[in-house]
Amino acid sequence: MENRACFVREVINACRKKVPDHFHIGMRLSPESSGIQSGIDIDETIQVEKWLKEGN
């Protein structure tokens, strides 16, 4: 899962370096789990959100 989240983490961290601390950066994470194909599930979404919040 860390590899799957690597790109978004790098983008957010790069953006964070370019803006003041008080500037809000937002993004949408959409958990999916329907039918045979499934994307990121709710638990993975929560983990990615934690990583982004921590700045890791």
Domain boundaries, the chain: 2-54
Rounded alpha-carbon distances, angstroms, from residue 43 to 1, 7, 11, 23? 11, 19, 21, 27
CA distance 31 to 18: 28
pLDDT given at position 41: 82
Instruction: Give the tens place of pLDDT for each residue, 4-56.
Output: 888 998 999 999 999 999 999 988 888 776 666 667 788 888 999 898 888 75
| pTM (2 d.p.) | 0.68
Is residue 16 within 8 Å of residue 25, measured between CB atoms?
yes
pLDDT given at position 34: 62
